[in-house]
Chains A and B, each alone.
Chain A
Amino acid sequence: MTTTSAPKVQNARANMVKLTVRVKRGAPGAASHWQEYKVEASPLDRFVDVLNHIKWTQDGTLTFRRSCLHGVCGSDAMRINGRNQLACKTLVADLGYKISAEPMLGYPVIRDLVVDMDPFFGKYEKVKPYLINNSPAPATERLQTADQRKRFDAGTKCILCGACTGSCPSIWANPEWVGPAAIVNAHRFIFDSRDEGAAERLQILSDRTGVWRCRTIFNCADVCPREIPVTDLIEDVKRAIIYGEPDIPNT
């Protein structure tokens, strides 16, 4: 057995670069303004490391959400260099020497980069994002083939970060729209062979705030940090509404 040559992780870390970070700061009832910070970072640092460094050593008032730091909790979705991304899944190396950070569009701002996610979760709840199956459960598991399991796999990856919904021009135009994330989570159940609630959800999603407001702009799929083909899933749901039922493999 041979090992390939060691990646020079250490060296890349030692190689610090000087950054200018511009943050759009604001609070309800006050005009927002851009504030500039100068900071040194390694190209392998996550953008959230840079924000933390600023907060912990320069300006304790800089406000943003963060938790897991590796792209699974969905706390730190924000608009970085004009594009919705997770601050913990984006490295300095990919952002350049001048970086801008703003709150996501389409959400009410609470403070700086923190937006109000309550309306987002409200829309999520509206599509009945839970398994509906009123048949008595067996003593062990309900059976499901690998193909049936695969049919709804994409949507199960969603971490509810809101990046997709905040990148959608349709939601900028009409905040009432249910938005891509809620549809992804509806899809996850509509196409689950164990679920019996497809008709209810398709009904909800066929009204005027439902799937038809999607104009297949693909921003959602483009920004999804979990690489969910969001627009494809929305199209899947549209087809299910047209044909009256979702296409799920029988076996």
Chain B
Amino acid sequence: MPYHKFDVVIVGSGGAGLMAAMQLSHKYSVAVVSKLYPTRSHTGAAQGGVAAALGNQEEDHWQWHMFDTVKGGDYLVDQDAAEVLAREAIDAIYDLEHWGLPFNRTADGKIDQRRFGGHTRNFGEGPVMRSCYAADRTGHMILQTMFQQSVKNQVQFFNEFLATDLIITGGRASGVVAYSIRDGDVHTFSAKAVVFATGGYGRAWRITSNALACTGDGMSIAYRSGIPLEDMEFYQFHPTGIYHVGVLLSEAARGEGAYLLNNEGERFMMRYTPSLQELAPRDIVSRSIVQEIREGRGIDGQDYVYLDIRHLGAEKIREKLPDITDFARTYLRIEPITDPVPIQPTAHYAMGGIPTNIDGQVILDEKNTPLPGFYAAGEAACVSVHGANRLGTNSLVDLIVFGRRAGKHIAKMLDSGELDYAELPANADERTKQMISRIRAGSGEHAETIREEMRDVMTEMCGVMRTEDKLQQCGAKIAELQARYQNISIMDKSSSFNTEMMEAIELGYVLDCAEATVESAAARKESRGGHFREDYPTRDDKQFLSHTLAYRKDDGGVKELRYKPVVITEFQPKERKY
């Protein structure tokens, strides 16, 4: 069976994975294992911008950025991590610029910046221009720039390899197993350090902005390996997905001044958050939209409202929001220059994930015990800088800052010889082979029925608004689907580019993520950020100012939930008002 040996194996070729690779490839052998060609990664879909307190347009300070991040996350953010995020964002942005990222420019030739939801001056006084951007394709530019640098630095890619297992020997991570989509072979990678930068799992819901590839692969593999998943109940629903399709219309539209209108033509956000209006954080805007729809103020009584950019004028729209207006034209046949665009909340981003410390090291418990040699970064990880709700533009900041830190920490550990190869067991790929054989020999239903039922139940019962009763039903349904999944079957028995096999494996991953999400949500009897419980509508710091850690039973299902204290340094929890 194919066997490889690299100092570092990085799973995932989005912003975080490539940023980590960049810190290492000049000195160490690095393999990037990706189930897609690298430029297909979902980082490329990020639109609006990447925050850093450069102060190019107006006064700004990283402390303000840190505060906004903590408050935006409803005080569940680990403040040591938020400090790192806000401080190091500045250097990371300059790195990207030096690598050629084509930022939009100010009149004096500096990186241009604009407003974004929840980013404020002077600890909440009013909106601040902090988001560095390249039109409305900032993520695309970051991904392209990172890939260009990877080409320059001759990073070795294993494209169209689906990761299937993490190898742990003697209490440390020592390799990865992956399924080659191209020819069906199972490859074993031996490594001194492993990085998971595998992104999120928006595909657990019906309406989502996420690519079909966003199936929580790394999270699930870690969870199956006995590593807990942190804060999975905190999932972000972005307010402005294109109606029915889920494709995102960037918050940049509201940053540039777009309105949200109900069926009475009212800018309803004025009622919910008078100080920030449409630029309130995403959890609040999404809940407000759902509330409007529930009270009969959706357009034509349907489940959507309008995003209106007509008053911005054709020129500004063309210059600053070209892609998202193109999306409206393509998928709705609507001209946003002359007509408002139907939108609804769309499943967008996992605040939770594989728990790490601020160096990207994966931790195993509430005492922050690291698993040596194992790192995670980006959406797959939970540092936690986003707490209960991520601010717009902070996802790209997270990728570049913590991808960089993970890479740098690995470099340090390799320099000092603290990480080394382990002898891998002869049957390291056994679990993967069993899984593949089981799917190939399965006689039950096809993936589609299970996938559909999962998406429906997660959308109806584990979405923007939650209750005890619905979460219990949802948990039972996910358990049932997990059982049915064990007997899943496929029509395609080929070993050449078998995407049905790939999708079947991915369904298993996303089911695990859904399971951890709904169980963690049921246990958190409070409302905080993106987790809103109608039966417990207020935040309860006494009981729940802590991170959830969900552990899996060996034979499936959540074994236990543990809780880990939040790191509070500068900002004491206060009521979150805008």
Q: How far is the CA of A125 from the CA of B334 in the complex (A)?
A: 39
Q: How far is the CA of A95 from the CA of B1 in the complex (A)?
A: 45
A207 at interface by CB-CB < 8 Å = no
Given A67-B40, A69-B212, A131-B99, verify A3-B105 contact (CB < 8 Å): no
How does the 8 Å CB contact mask read for A152-173 relative to B, with 1 for contact and 0 for none? 1100111110000000000000
Chain A: minimal CB distance from B422 (Å): 32
How does the 8 Å CB contact mask read for A111-143 relative to B, with 1 for contact and 0 for none? 100100100010011001111010001011111
Chain A: minimal CB distance from B537 (Å): 31
Provide the main secondary structure of the chain A interface: loop
B-side interface size class: 35 or more
Q: Which of A10, A67, A143 contacts B110 (CB 8 A)?
A: A143
Chain B: minimal CB distance from A57 (Å): 6
Chain A: minimal CB distance from B452 (Å): 9
Contact B491 A61 (CB under 8 A): yes
Contact B36 A75 (CB under 8 A): yes
Contact A157 B137 (CB under 8 A): yes
Given contacts A3-B261, A156-B141, 7 further A-B contacts (CB under 8 A): A56-B448, A57-B448, A70-B331, A124-B151, A140-B94, A144-B109, A160-B37
CB neighbours (8 Å) of B265 from chain A are: 1-3
A68 at interface by CB-CB < 8 Å = yes
Interface residues of A in 1-46 (CB under 8 A from B): 1-4, 6-7, 9-10, 12-13, 27, 44, 46
Q: Which of A67, A70, A144, A149 contacts B213 (CB 8 A)?
A: A67
B144 at interface by CB-CB < 8 Å = yes
A73 at interface by CB-CB < 8 Å = yes
Q: How far is the CA of A27 from the CA of B182 in the complex (A)?
A: 12
CB neighbours (8 Å) of B102 from chain A are: 149, 152-153, 156, 192
Task: Closest B residue to A73 by CB, please name it.
Answer: B40
Task: Closest A residue to B306 by CB, please name it.
Answer: A3
The residue in A12, A65, A72 that gathers the most chain B C-beta atoms within 10 A of its C-beta is A72
B61 at interface by CB-CB < 8 Å = no
Task: Count residues on chain A whose CB falls below 8 Å from chain B CBs.
Answer: 68
Interface residues of A in 164-189 (CB under 8 A from B): 189
List 26 A-B residue pairs with CB atoms under 8 Å apart, sorted by A's residue number.
A1-B259, A7-B334, A10-B302, A13-B244, A27-B496, A60-B446, A60-B491, A63-B492, A65-B499, A67-B42, A68-B40, A68-B42, A68-B44, A72-B140, A73-B42, A91-B331, A111-B496, A125-B151, A129-B151, A130-B100, A131-B148, A140-B54, A141-B103, A152-B102, A158-B144, A189-B100
Q: How far is the CA of A144 from the CA of B496 in the complex (A)?
A: 48
Q: Which residues of A contact B (CB under 8 A)?
A: 1-4, 6-7, 9-10, 12-13, 27, 44, 46, 55-57, 59-61, 63-75, 89, 91, 93, 110-111, 114, 117, 121, 124-125, 128-131, 133, 137, 139-146, 149, 152-153, 156-160, 189, 192, 194-195
Chain B: minimal CB distance from A92 (Å): 12
